[in-house]
Structure 1
C-alpha cells in the first residue's frame, strides 16, 4: 500500500512539472526531490504546493520539491520510473528500406532500434546497467592512463626527475580509489543513495583493513577491486531498500543509513572481499594464460566476434573485466585485440567506397565517417554503411579476426601488451599502450594489427561483399534521377 501511495505522489507531481519530456535529470537529498527542467514556464507552482505530500518548493540551480525525510527516498524511484515510461511511450517509429545513403542510415537506425528492443532481456539489461556504472569513469581512466604513459617515458629516459613523483601521484591517485567511484555509481544506477554505495565500497581500499583478521587470514587494501566494490554497493542498495520499506519515516534518516553501512560493510569484510579477490585473480590469470597459450586463435575469435557482441549488447560485460585487468597489471590485454574489429570495419567501408563508384550519396557518407572510424568511433560506419548492407558487415568481421590473430600471435610469442585505459580505439589507442617489450615494439605490433585489419577487411569486402544484384541496385546515383523528377520540363524557346 505504501508503494501505491508513493507512486500516486510521483504521478501527481509529474504533469505539474511539464511531463517527462521537460525533465533532464533527477536526484534527491535528505528532504527534497531535485529535478532539472528544460522549460521552467511549464511548471505549475501553486498546483504543486497544493498537493498533500508536498511541503513546499524551492528554486535554486535545480527545481526542488520538498517531500520530507524518508518520503523523498521512496517517491524518487517511482518518479524516475514514470519519467522513463513516459519517454518510452513517445519514442519515434523505426525507419524503412532503400538504397540511398540517407535511407541506408535510416535502415541502420531501424536495425539498431530493433536490436535494442531484442536486448531488453533481464541479463542484457543488467549488463547495460553495469556499463552505465563504468562509462562515467572512462574520462578519468583515459587521462590518468596517458599521464602514466608519459611518466613511464620520463622514467625510462631519466628526464625531469623532480616531476616524475608528481606524475606518478596523478596517474595512481584515481586508480587507488576507483572502488569508491564504482560503489557510488552502482548505488546511483540501481536506485540507492550514491554516497552510501561509495561509503561501503571505501572499506575495500581503506588501509586499516590490513589489521583485520578474518577467518585466520589477513585482508589487504584493495582486495577484490572493482568487482568487490560493485558487489558491496549492490548489496548496500538492497539493504537500503529493505530498510526504506520497513523503517518508520520518522526514524528513516537515522536508522536506514546506519544499517545499510553496518550490514553491507560486515558482509563485505568477511565475505565479498575474499570472493571478489579470488574472482579478480582468476580473471587476470585466465586472460594471460589464454593469450600466452592460444594467442593467435584467441585473437582471431575475439577480433572476429566483437562486432556481433556489440550488436547483441554482450560487449558491456567486458567493461568490468577491462577495469579489473588494469587494476592488476596496469593495462588490459583484451582491448587492443578487440580494437581490430574497428580496423576491419574501416577496411570494409573503403572497399564499399571503391565498389560503388556511381553512388555519390553513399560515398559522401563514407568519406565523412572514415576519420571517426580511424579514431575508433565505428558506429557511423556500422549503422550507416556495413550493417544495413548485410554482407559487408560479415566481411568487416573477417578483417577484425585477421587483425586480432596478428596481435594475439605476438602475445603467444611473449610480447604482451595492452591499454592503460578503456574507451579509445583505433589510432586513438596509441598513447595508451604499454607492454613488456618496450614502447617501440608495442607500437609496431599494434600498428601491424591495424594494417592487417584494414587490408583483410578491404579485400574480403571488395571480392566477397556484394552479390551481382546488390551491385545493380546500389551502384547508381539516385540524386540525378530525383532531380529530373523534381524539375519540370522547360518551355520551348520561340524562334
Structure 2
C-alpha cells in the first residue's frame, strides 16, 4: 500500500479521528490510546500491506509498522492536528485500567520521544571506549572531550528531557517540569552535593530545614514524580487565577513549591527508592547470574510481543545512574541476536523471494536491536524459529550472566552494544564472556533453524 494512503486507512480502521485519545510511536510501533477499542477492526488492519502486526497491550492499541513508523506517525499526527487529543485525566477507561497497563503506558510515553537519541548517545559512548582501547583517541585531549560531551550530554541533563516528556504525559506545562529538572542539575546544586560529600553533613537549609543534596544527573524517578506533582498542582491553581496573571503566575507558584519540595522530600525519598531497586536487582542477579541470564534471555522476545519490555527501561537506566553500569543489557543482546540468528536461518533456507526480502530487512533491523519485524514478519508466524531464537537467547544469556558482563552506557541491545561492554581501562574477561555468549546465541539459533527447517516448519505456510 502507498505510504500516503496507509495512515488514512489506519485511522479509518481504528474508528476514525474521534476515537483516538492519544498516539505516540516507538522504534517500530504506533501506540494508540483509543476511547473505544471494541470498534477498531483489528482483523482488517492486519491484512493491510505495511502493517506487520496489531497488539493490544499495556492499555494501548499498538500497530506495528516497522522501520517506516516515523513517517507514518507524522502523517497521522498531521491528519488529527485539527482536534485536541484528550489528556490522561479525560480518558473514559482511566479507572478500569490495571496498574501494569497504566505503568507501561506512562513509561513508554515518557521515554519513547527521545529513546532513539538516548540509544545513539549510548552507542557513541561505546565507540569512544573502543577508540580509547585501540589508542586512536586519548583521554584528556580535545578530541576526547568533544566526543565525550556529545555522548554524555543527554545523560548528564537527563532530568530536563524527562521533565519535558513527563510534563506532557501528565497533562501539565512541559516547560515547567523541564525547568524543575533543570533546577536539579543546576551547577549550584551539584556544588552543594559535592560539598556535602566532603563534610558528610547537609551544608544548606531551606527555611531552616536541612537539605540533603544528591547528584540528580542521570536520575529518572525523582524527575518523573516531580513532574507529576507539578502537573497536579498546575491543574488546581490555574483555574483559580485571573486570566490576566495566570499565564505567568501558574509556573511561578509551581516552581516556588515543587522545586523546594523535590529537594526536601521527593528527591531524597525517590533516590532511596532508586538505590533500593538497584540493590534489589543486584541481589537477585548475584544470587544466580547464569539463571537470571537464562530467564531474561528466554523471555525477552515474549515481553517485546506484548510491549512489556518498556517496564525494564527505567531499571536499566537506574542501574546506570546508581552503579555506573548495567548487567541487564548484555543479556538482552544475546536474546536479540538469538532472534536475529533465526531470521538468518530462514533467509538461507527459504526459496521464496518475498520471504528472503522480508527476512533480509528484518535481519538488518535486528542487528541494530529492533526485533519486531523479525518476530512478527519472520519467526513467530513459523513458530519453530521463534522458539529456537528464545532457547538460543537463554543459552547465550546464561553465558553472559555467568561472565558478569556489564555495559557502561545505555543503548538498544544489538550488535552495536558490544563496544559499550568495554570499560575505559581495556577489554577484560567479562567483555570476552559477553562476546562469547552473544556468538553462541547467534550460531545456535542459526544452525538449529536451518536443521529444523527440513523437519518441520518449512512445510508450514507463513501464516500457520
After TM superposition, the score normalised by the length of structure 2 is 0.71
SS at match of 1:182: helix
Change (3 A) 1:189 1:281: same
The match for 2:162 among 179, 182, 185 is 182
The match for 2:43 among 94, 99, 105 is 94
Aligned position for 1:362? 355
Gaps of 5+ in 1: 1-19, 22-77, 98-102, 476-495
Contact map agreement 1:204 1:228 (CA 8 A) in 2: no
The match for 1:418 among 407, 412, 423 is 407
Displacement of 1:216 in angstroms is: 5.2
Aligned position for 2:79? none
The match for 1:132 among 89, 106, 109 is 109
Aligned position for 2:381? 388
Worse-matched range after superposition: 249-258 or 333-342:
249-258
Distance 1:133 1:440 in 2: 35
SS at match of 2:422: strand
Displacement of 1:350 in angstroms is: 3.2
Q: Residue deviations 1:298-353, cap 9 Å, x none? A: 00011111111112222111222222222233332211111222111122223334
Displacement of 1:448 in angstroms is: 1.4
Change (3 A) 1:228 1:453: same
Distance 1:407 1:330 in 2: 18
Gaps of 5+ in 2: 1-6, 9-17, 24-31, 64-92, 193-202
SS at match of 1:218: coil
Aligned position for 1:309? 303
Residues 243-282 of structure 1: pairs in structure 2 closer than 5 A = 243-282=237-276
Distance 2:287 2:176 in 1: 43
Q: Does 1:446 align with 2:440?
A: no
Residues 279-290 of structure 1: pairs in structure 2 closer than 5 A = 279-290=273-284
Residues 137-286 of structure 1: pairs in structure 2 closer than 5 A = 137-140=115-118, 142-143=120-121, 146-147=124-125, 150=128, 153-154=131-132, 157=135, 159=138, 161-163=140-142, 164-209=144-189, 210=192, 211-213=203-205, 218-222=212-216, 225-286=219-280
Q: Does 1:474 align with 2:440?
A: no
**Bigger Rg, structure 1 or 2:** 1
Question: What is the root-mean-square deviation of aligned Cα atoms in Å?
Answer: 4.0
Q: Residue deviations 1:445-465, cap 9 Å, x none? A: 332122211233235545667
Q: Does 1:408 align with 2:419?
A: no
Displacement of 1:147 in angstroms is: 4.3
Distance 2:289 2:281 in 1: 10
Aligned position for 2:327? 333
Aligned position for 1:109? 52
Worse-matched range after superposition: 170-179 or 216-225:
216-225
Change (3 A) 1:151 1:360: closer
Distance 2:160 2:170 in 1: 16
Worse-matched range after superposition: 388-397 or 431-440:
431-440
Q: How many residues align?
A: 389
Contact map agreement 1:226 1:323 (CA 8 A) in 2: yes
Change (3 A) 1:162 1:207: closer
Aligned position for 1:432? 420
Contact map agreement 1:303 1:403 (CA 8 A) in 2: yes
